[in-house]
A and B are shown apart, each in its own frame.
Chain A
Amino acid sequence: MRLAKIDWALGALLLAMMVGASACGSSSSSSSSASNLPSKIGKTEGQLNLVAWEGYAESKWVKPYEAKTGCKVHAKYAGSSDEMVTLMRQGGGSQYDMVSASGDASLRLIRGGEVQPMNVDLVPEWKNFVPQLQSPPHNTVDGKHYGISLQWGPNTLLYNTKSVSPAPTSWSAIYGPQYKGEVSVPANPIQIADAALYLSKTKPSLGISDPYELTEDQLDAAADLLKQQRPLIKKYWALASDEIELFKNGDAVIGAAWPYQYSQLKKANEPVEQIIPKEGATGWADTWMLSAHAKDPNCAYEWVNWVSSPKVQAEQATTYGETPVNTKACGEMEKIEKGSCEVYHANAPASYFDSIKFWRTPVAECGNGQSDCMDYSKWQQKWTEITG
Chain B
Amino acid sequence: MSATGFAPQRSTPARTRVSAALFRRPWLRGGLLLSGPLAWFVLIYLAALVVLFVSSLWSVDSFTGNLVHSWTLKNFETLVKVDTYRTIALRTIGIAAAVTVTDAILALPFAFFAVRIAPKRLQGALFVAVLIPLWSSYLVRVYVWRLILAKDGVLNWAIGQLGLGSLNIGYSNWAMWIVFSYIWLPFMILPIWSAIERVPDSYIEASADLGARGWRTFRSVLFPLILPGIAAGSIFTFSLTLGDYITPTLVGGAGSDFIGNVVYQNVGVASNVPFAAAFATVPLIVMGVYLLIARRLGAFEAL
Q: Which residues of A contact B (CB under 8 A)?
A: 13-14, 17-18, 21-22, 25-26, 28-30, 80, 82-83, 85-86, 89, 108, 111-113, 181, 230-231, 233-236, 238-239, 242, 245-246, 249-251, 363, 375-377, 380-381, 384-385, 387-388
Contacts and interface: CB of A to CB of B under 8 A. Distances in A.
A82 B268 contact: yes
B47 interface: yes
B254 A376 contact: no
A86 B269 contact: yes
Interface in B268-298: 268-272
Contacts of A231: 254
Given A85-B271, A388-B255, A234 B171 contact: yes
Contacts of A246: 171
A235 B51 contact: no
Given A85-B271, A238-B249, A376-B270, 9 more contacts: A111-B63, A112-B66, A251-B170, A251-B171, A375-B62, A380-B265, A380-B272, A384-B265, A385-B84
B191 to A, nearest CB: 25
Interface stretch (B119-127, B146-154, B213-221): B146-154
Interface in B42-60: 42, 46-47, 50-51, 54
A384 B262 contact: yes
Contacts of A89: 65, 271
A89 B150 CA distance: 39
A108 B65 contact: yes
B82 interface: yes
Interface string B186-221: 000000000000000000000000000000000000
B64 interface: yes
Nearest to B249: A238
Contact of A21 (B51, B249, B252): B51
Contacts of A233: 253-254
B153 A86 contact: no
A249 B150 contact: yes
A1 to B, nearest CB: 10
Interface in B243-261: 249-250, 252-255, 257
A25 B67 CA distance: 9
Interface in B64-92: 64-67, 69, 78, 82, 84-85, 87-88
A230 B85 contact: no
B46 A14 contact: yes
B267 interface: yes
B168 interface: yes
Contacts of B51: 17, 21
A158 B251 CA distance: 21
Given A86-B269, A235-B171, A387 B255 contact: yes
In this complex, which of A13, A25, A111, A249 has the most chain B Cβ atoms within 10 angstroms of its Cβ?
A249
A250 B262 contact: no
A289 B297 CA distance: 56
Contacts of B88: 388
A-B interface, 5 closest residue pairs, ranked by CB to CB distance from nearest: A249-B150, A82-B269, A377-B62, A388-B84, A250-B151
Nearest to B57: A22
Interface string B150-177: 1111000000000000001011000000
A179 B257 CA distance: 23
B253 A235 contact: yes
Interface of B: 42, 46-47, 50-51, 54, 62-67, 69, 78, 82, 84-85, 87-88, 146-147, 150-153, 168, 170-171, 249-250, 252-255, 257, 262, 265-272
18 contacts: A13-B42, A18-B50, A28-B66, A30-B64, A82-B271, A85-B271, A86-B65, A86-B268, A112-B64, A230-B254, A233-B254, A234-B171, A242-B250, A249-B152, A251-B151, A375-B63, A380-B265, A384-B84
B115 to A, nearest CB: 34
Contacts of A28: 64, 66-67
Given A112-B64, A230-B255, A239-B249, A388 B262 contact: yes
Nearest to B150: A249
A267 B178 CA distance: 32
Contact of A381 (B54, B78, B87, B147): B78
Contacts of B151: 249-251
A112 B64 CA distance: 4
B272 A377 contact: yes
A387 B255 CA distance: 6
B63 A112 contact: yes
In this complex, which of B151, B249, B250, B265 has the most chain A Cβ atoms within 10 angstroms of its Cβ?
B265
A14 B50 contact: yes
Contacts of B250: 239, 242
Contact of A86 (B171, B252, B254, B267): B267
B269 A80 contact: yes
Nearest to B52: A21
A363 B63 contact: yes
A113 B61 CA distance: 14
A76 B161 CA distance: 45
Contact of A85 (B50, B65, B254, B257): B65
B54 A245 contact: no
A91 to B, nearest CB: 14
A246 B251 CA distance: 11
Nearest to B146: A245
A306 B292 CA distance: 59
Contacts of B82: 381, 385
